[in-house]
Amino acid sequence: MFSDNTAIDWPIFSNGMLAPSGSQQQISEHPARTSLDWQVARRNQNSLTTDIPAEQSVSAVKNAAQPIYYVPKVASREPSERASFSPLQEWEGFVSEIGIDSFTGLLVDLTAKKKRPEEKMEFPISDLSEDDKSLLREGAIFRWSIGYQMQHGTKKRISQIVFRRLPAWTRSDFEASKRKVKEIAENVVWD
């Protein structure tokens, strides 16, 4: 365990994770600390720990009123090389119809910089991850990418469908839409 830190500079390791400044020496003394894959954890009053995504951790640490502990993640092996994806072709689509074992998507070709759906494709529902299956509904927006995945020196051609999870409707969206409708009602006079 490290001592409490409430405001410190955070060097970013090559893998994008954060580590406390001046603490590398201490880290390297732990058997598992040869890994640069660190989790930043915060102990709350009930002694529960919560993982904080790296990109959120700086503000979380700076604003934290409670003591903060930095716990190295135990790595069972050397960190694996991150897979990189190089797209050859990408579409954005929406679900227009859903059948028993497939769904139809109307696709906007992003690679060709199209602005309207000009192609359709029937996708097997079984190609979707379980998470994405739960998002399958008419109007749902997804991205279909074809490209090369590079990992461990190997190159693999893949097709990937990912359903959009964000953005979500917010209160400000509903308020803005109410304002617009009110303006229309006040300014458009019907015969």
Partner 1 sequence: MGLSLDGPAADQVEITFIGPGYGECCLVHLGSSHWVIIDSCIGASGYPAAIEYLMDIGVDPPTSVQLIIATHWHDDHIAGLAETVRICSSAQFCCSAALSRSEFLANLAPYNERTNFSGGSGVSEIFEIMEELKATTRRNPVRALASRLVKKFEASRFAHSGDCEIWTLSPSDAQFEISLQEIGRLVPELNWTKRRMPSQRPNHLSVVTFIKIGTVSALFGADLEETTNPETGWSAIVKSTSRPQIRCQVFKIPHHGSVTGHSDDVWAQMLEAKPIAVATNYVAGRKPLPTREDIVRISALAGEFYLTSSNQSKAARKREPAVEKTIREVGKLASIASPAGFVRLRNGGSLSPDQWRAELSGLAHKK
- Residues in touch with partner 1 (CB under 8 A): 88-89, 92-94, 96-97, 99, 104, 106-110, 112, 114-124, 127, 135, 137-141, 146, 148, 157-159, 164-171, 173-174, 176-178, 180-185, 187-191
Smallest separation (angstroms) from partner 1 to the CB of 83: 17
Residue closer to partner 1 by CB (options 30, 182) is 182
The least distance separating partner 1 from the CB of residue 82, rounded to whole angstroms, comes to: 22
Q: Are 159 and 145 in contact (CB under 8 A)?
A: yes
User: Cβ 150 to partner 1, closest distance in Å?
Assistant: 14
For residue 70, the SS3 value is coil
Which residue number, 37 or 92, has a Cβ lying nearer to partner 1? 92
> Smaller CB distance to partner 1: residue 51 or 127?
127
In the complex with partner 1, which residue's Cβ is closer, 32 or 141? 141
Comparison of 51 and 119: residue with beta carbon closer to partner 1:
119
Residue carrying structure tokens 């640069």: 36
Number of neighbouring beta carbons within 10 Å of residue 60 = 14
- Tokens for 75, please give them: 């790595």
Q: In whole angstroms, how close is the CB of 185 to partner 1 at the nearest point?
A: 5
Residue 127 CB contacts under 8 Å (≥ 6 apart), including other chains: 161
- Cα–Cα distances in Å, from 185 out to 25, 175, 177? 67, 15, 12
Query: Within the chain, what is the greatest distance between any pair of CA atoms?
Result: 81
Tell me how far the alpha carbon of residue 76 is from its chain's centroid: 25
Residue 129 CB, nearest distance to partner 1 (Å)?
A: 15
